[in-house]
Amino acid sequence: MKIFLTGDSIIARYEGLNEPRINYELKRRLGNIELVNTAVSGINSGAFFARLSELVLKAPICDKIVILLGTNDLATHKQVPMKQFKRNMELIASSIICLYWPQNVILVSPPAVDEKKQRVRNNFLVKQYAKVIKEVAQEYKFTYINLVQEMINHGDLENLCHGIKNDGLHFGKEGYKLLAELIIKDIN
C-alpha cells in the first residue's frame, strides 16, 4: 500500500529521527508500506492551496491521501478567519477530488494542545476549526479523523503534546503513536 501524507508541522516533524515521525510510526505498524510525505512546517490552508500543484498534484498517486491542516490557521497571532479557512479547505478538496476517489481521502483535524504550555492556541478554538474540516469532509464524502477529540478523550495532553520543542503543540512519541493508530484504523 502507498500512503500520501501532507499538511503542516504535525505531519512534517522528524522529532529526532531521520524521517518524519509519523512515517516511522506507520512503517513500524504496517511493515511493507510506501509513504510519500510533502508536509511543510508552518503552512496554513491558504499557502497550502497556493502550493497544491507542487505538494499534491505533481506527486505520485497513492492508495490513500492523509491531510492535516488548520494548526496554523487557528493560531491567534496569525489567525485565518474561519469563513476563509472553510473556503480554502473546499478549494483543496475540490482540487484533490480530481485525483482521488472520496473514500481514499482522509482529512485530519488539528491536534489538541496542552493549554498550560501553548500560548497561541486553545482547545476551544481547535474544536471550532476541526468542525469546519468535518463539514468539508462530509460535503466531499471524505473520511474524517477527529484528532482533537481523540486526544482529549485520551486524557493525557501533557504527555501527548510533549515533543522536542515542548511547546504544548508539537508531539512526541506518544502523540505520534496515537495519530498513527487513528490513520491505520481508517486505512483498514
Q: What residues of the chain score a pLDDT lower than 50? A: none
**Amino acid present at 30:** L
Determine the CATH number of domain 2-187.
Answer: 3.40.50.1110
Q: Looking at residue 188, what is its pLDDT? A: 81
Q: Which three cell numbers stand for residue 124?
A: 476551544
Q: What percent of the chain has pLDDT over 70?
A: 100
What pLDDT score does 59 carry?
A: 93
Instruction: Give CA–CA dist 158/38, Å, rounded.
Output: 28
Q: Residue 33's pLDDT is what?
A: 95
Query: SS3 of 136, please?
Result: helix
As given in the structure block, the three cell numbers for residue 88 are 480554502
**Nine cell digits for residue 158:** 501533557
d(CA 188, CA 185): 5
User: What pLDDT score was predicted for residue 149?
Assistant: 98
Q: According to the model, what pLDDT value does residue 119 have?
A: 95
pLDDT of residue 152: 97
Mean pLDDT of the chain: 97
| Whether the Cβ atoms of residue 99 and residue 61 lie closer than 8 Å to each other | yes
Strands 2-7 and 64-68: parallel
